[in-house]
């Protein structure tokens, strides 16, 4: 007899909503370490993400080609992309609220928009 395995037995336990989400423009890599030159902006963003994670914040980063469902699942992000196309990217969302479009925020801008204002 075959044993039935329910898909519901394997529900992920880590369903914590991201505190900070970055919706990136198309990139060859999110780190800035690819290609013939380093992209200082992407290096700074990676450093900021490490800092936020060290402060026990959940940070997610999405690219349209590999994380289309994240874009489609956020109505405000999709509205901005439809209206402004790629000029809207990157879009930064903090605790469900868009805080910056068209460029990456500073660490201070993110912290000012966190519920606990972790300055």
Domain boundaries, the chain: 18-113
pLDDT at 36 (0 to 100): 73
Q: Where are the alpha helices (DSSP H) in the chain?
A: 40-54, 68-72, 75-84, 107-113
pTM to 2 decimals? 0.80
Judge contact between 109 and 100, C-beta under 8 A: yes
List per-residue pLDDT tens for the chain, 119 residues long.
Answer: 555 554 444 444 455 688 999 999 887 776 666 767 778 888 899 999 999 999 999 999 999 888 899 999 999 999 999 999 999 999 999 999 999 999 999 999 999 999 866 55
Q: What homologous superfamily does CATH list for 18-113?
A: Glutaredoxin (3.40.30.10)
């Amino acid at each position: 007899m075959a044993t039935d395995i329910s898909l519901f037995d394997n529900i992920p336990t880590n369903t914590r909503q991201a505190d900070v989400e970055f919706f990136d423009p198309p990139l060859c890599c999110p780190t800035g370490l690819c290609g013939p030159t380093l992209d200082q902006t992407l290096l700074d963003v990676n450093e900021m993400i490490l800092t936020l994670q060290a402060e026990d914040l959940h940070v997610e980063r999405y690219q349209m080609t590999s994380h289309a469902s994240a874009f489609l699942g956020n109505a405000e992000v999709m509205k901005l992309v439809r209206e402004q196309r790629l000029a809207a990217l990157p879009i930064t969302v903090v605790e469900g609220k868009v805080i910056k479009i068209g460029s990456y925020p500073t660490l201070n801008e993110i912290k000012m928009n966190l519920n606990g204002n972790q300055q």
